């Protein structure tokens, strides 16, 4: 592993733009997709911050169009496009057909608009662009019209500001962006960058703000997780992965952090005053989940609502990883599953995992996480028992990444096929994934030598006192030591 630490000077290579006071400009070459003809139209766009928390966009399109759409809903957050204001197209008359839907009375090759970025909420702060104070995140998914399919971006920063991204910057200071919906740029004063190569994969951690931990406290667990998930999947991430850590710009409830892994970027927002006993351990736990998303679903070329797998199974696999890396012990492993089961029981579950996934953002609560995680646990137990402790859920991730799937294959079909086709597995996936069978741990677990005690305020998952040989094999393979 090569590890180097780079402290980027405040003005970096952007000194030539120092005269521009509090003004952020990007020049962007944009391709607008012509849906009917499937021909990309190259365009040029400039975006600037004219005042704190607001961006102005100016675009010059090489082929005129008369309709533009901005993302209005994402991750259960509605009304994102309401932040787009003052939309103009040449000297045409503009009609706002709906939030984020703009039409002009004639084709236009020049557009401009402003986007208000100063007021993120606890619900949307990790999912949308914001600029608050002297830092922020610019996510092209909500800053550019959806018609944009690829672009070349150049940023001009306010005095003393820097910019970091997992997308490489070329010699001209431009960024070639082929998937704008995945592009994230971290902007602000004094960004500190730590770079490393983990088994041939490029990893960068960018920090803003003052923290009670040091950079190695973030880099070490991130490095271990990258190694772990490379081994899990057998898939080497091709590009640079960047973990961007910034203070939460809004007051949140009891959970003092928010995260989203988009493309090859992990955005992690934490309250610097959170009373974590062990910051490195806390970062490790967050990374077990978020860094797995760099692979699942972000490196999978499948489509559809299979959130039960890429969230629920990710939760379980992250918990297994935390156990294997000794971030937690076996009791904490069981305690977590018991807590999730209590949470699961608070929902009236009459949906299949596929249905839960389809409704993830339109139903309150965390059913897709809870049920998905518990079903992953049951699946893991089942195949460990079938194989005498030799095969486990983790083994399926290699199958998933080595399987040849056609581009845009149905995620649910692919995952169900990967989980296996023995009669017992088919019954299992039919019951929980395709049909609406409820999870009943108290009924299923005794066969595996575990019991659920629901007499107290919260349920307890315990190893039964007398285990037969099969149960010992399964539980030892799961991490029980005795
Ligand atoms: Zn997740």
pTM of the predicted model, to two decimals?
Answer: 0.89
Tell me the backbone φ, ψ of residue 297, rounded to 5 degrees. -95, 0
Q: pLDDT digits over 359-392, tens only?
A: 888 777 789 999 999 999 999 999 999 999 999 9
**Can you give the pLDDT at residue 154?**
81
Q: From the CA of 372, how far away is ligand 1's center (Å)?
A: 12
Q: Is the pLDDT of residue 12 over 50?
A: no
Q: Is the pLDDT of residue 205 over 70?
A: yes
CA separation, residue 209 to residues 222, 254, 260, 279, 354 (Å): 19, 21, 19, 15, 41
Q: From the CA of 285, how far away is ligand 1's center (Å)?
A: 12
Mean pLDDT of the chain: 88
Q: From the CA of 55, how far away is ligand 1's center (Å)?
A: 29
Q: From the CA of 311, how far away is ligand 1's center (Å)?
A: 5
Q: From the CA of 318, how far away is ligand 1's center (Å)?
A: 10
Q: From the CA of 114, how far away is ligand 1's center (Å)?
A: 31
Between 1 and 138, whose confidence is greater? 138
Residue 182 to residue 141: CA distance in whole angstroms: 7
Q: From the CA of 58, how far away is ligand 1's center (Å)?
A: 34
Q: Is the pLDDT of residue 1 over 80?
A: no
**Can you give the pLDDT at residue 51?**
79
Q: From the CA of 126, how far away is ligand 1's center (Å)?
A: 12
Q: From the CA of 14, how far away is ligand 1's center (Å)?
A: 35
CA-nearest of 119, 77, 79 to 101 is: 79
Beta strands at 241-247 and 201-207: parallel, antiparallel or unpaired? parallel
Residue 320 to residue 387: CA distance in whole angstroms: 19
Q: Is the pLDDT of residue 14 over 50?
A: no
Q: What confidence category does residue 187 fall into, taking pLDDT thresholds of 50, 70 and 90?
A: very high
Between 41 and 298, whose confidence is greater? 298
Between 156 and 67, whose confidence is greater? 67
CA-nearest of 166, 170, 177 to 47 is: 177
Q: Where are the beta strands (DSSP E) in 148-300?
A: 148-156, 161-164, 174-177, 184-189, 192-198, 201-207, 241-247, 257-262, 265-270
- Segment 170-180 shows an average pLDDT of 87
Give the bridge partners for 453, in sequence order. 460
Q: From the CA of 154, how far away is ligand 1's center (Å)?
A: 31
- Segment 181-207 shows an average pLDDT of 96
CA-nearest of 69, 166, 75, 164 to 125 is: 75
Provide, rounded to the nearest whole percent, the portion of the chain with pLDDT above 90. Answer: 72
Q: What confidence category does residue 43 fall into, taking pLDDT thresholds of 50, 70 and 90?
A: low
Q: From the CA of 361, how far away is ligand 1's center (Å)?
A: 13
CA-nearest of 127, 129, 119, 80 to 101 is: 80
**Can you give the pLDDT at residue 17?**
27
- Which tokens go with 238? 């091709």
Q: From the CA of 289, how far away is ligand 1's center (Å)?
A: 6
Q: From the CA of 293, how far away is ligand 1's center (Å)?
A: 7
Q: Is the pLDDT of residue 23 over 90?
A: no
Q: Is the pLDDT of residue 420 over 80?
A: yes
369 class by beta-carbon count within 10 Å (0-12 exposed, 13-18 middle, 19+ buried):
buried
Residue 22 to residue 352: CA distance in whole angstroms: 51
């Amino acid at each position: 592993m090569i590890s180097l630490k780079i402290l980027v000077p405040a003005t970096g290579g952007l000194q030539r733009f120092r005269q521009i006071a509090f003004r952020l400009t990007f020049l962007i070459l944009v391709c607008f997709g012509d849906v009917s003809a499937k021909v990309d139209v190259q365009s040029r766009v400039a975006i600037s911050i004219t005042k704190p928390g607001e961006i102005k966009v100016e675009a010059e399109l090489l082929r005129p169009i008369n309709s533009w759409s901005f993302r209005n809903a994402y991750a259960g957050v509605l009304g994102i496009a309401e932040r787009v204001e003052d939309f103009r197209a040449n000297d045409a008359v503009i009609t706002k057909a709906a939030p984020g839907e703009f039409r002009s009375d004639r084709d236009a090759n020049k557009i401009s608009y402003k986007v208000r970025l100063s007021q993120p909420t606890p619900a949307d702060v990790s999912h949308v662009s914001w600029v608050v104070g002297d830092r922020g995140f610019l996510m092209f998914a909500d800053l550019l019209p959806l018609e944009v399919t690829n672009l070349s971006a150049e940023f001009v920063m306010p005095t003393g500001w820097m910019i970091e991204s997992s997308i490489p910057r070329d010699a001209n200071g431009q960024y070639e962006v082929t998937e704008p919906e995945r592009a994230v740029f971290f902007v602000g004063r004094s960004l500190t960058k730590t770079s490393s190569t983990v088994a041939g994969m490029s990893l960068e951690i960018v920090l803003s703000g003052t923290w009670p931990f040091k950079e190695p406290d973030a880099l070490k667990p991130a490095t271990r997780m990258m190694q772990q998930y490379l081994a899990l999947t057998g898939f080497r991430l091709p590009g640079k992965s960047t973990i961007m850590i910034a203070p939460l710009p809004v007051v949140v409830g009891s959970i003092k952090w928010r995260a989203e892994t988009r493309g090859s970027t992990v955005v992690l927002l934490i309250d610097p005053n959170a009373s974590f006993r062990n910051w490195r351990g806390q970062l490790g736990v967050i990374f077990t989940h978020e860094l797995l998303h760099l692979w699942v679903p972000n490196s999978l070329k499948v489509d559809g609502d299979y959130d039960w797998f890429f969230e629920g199974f990710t939760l379980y696999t992250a918990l297994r990883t935390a156990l294997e890396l000794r971030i937690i012990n076996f009791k904490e492993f069981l305690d977590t599953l018991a807590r999730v089961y209590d949470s699961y029981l608070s929902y009236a579950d009459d949906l299949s995992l596929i249905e839960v996934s389809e409704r993830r953002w339109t139903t309150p609560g965390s059913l897709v996480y809870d049920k998905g995680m518990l079903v992953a646990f049951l699946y893991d137990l089942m195949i460990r028992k079938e194989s005498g402790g030799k095969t486990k859920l983790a083994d399926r991730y290699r199958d998933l990444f080595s399987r040849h799937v056609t581009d845009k294959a149905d995620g649910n079909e692919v995952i169900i096929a990967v989980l296996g086709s023995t009669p017992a597995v088919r019954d299992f996936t039919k019951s929980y994934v395709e049909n609406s069978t409820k999870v009943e741990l108290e009924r299923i677990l005794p066969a595996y030598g575990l019991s659920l005690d629901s007499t107290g305020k919260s349920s307890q998952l315990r190893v039964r006192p007398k285990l037969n040989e099969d149960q010992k094999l399964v539980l030892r393979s799961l991490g029980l030591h005795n």
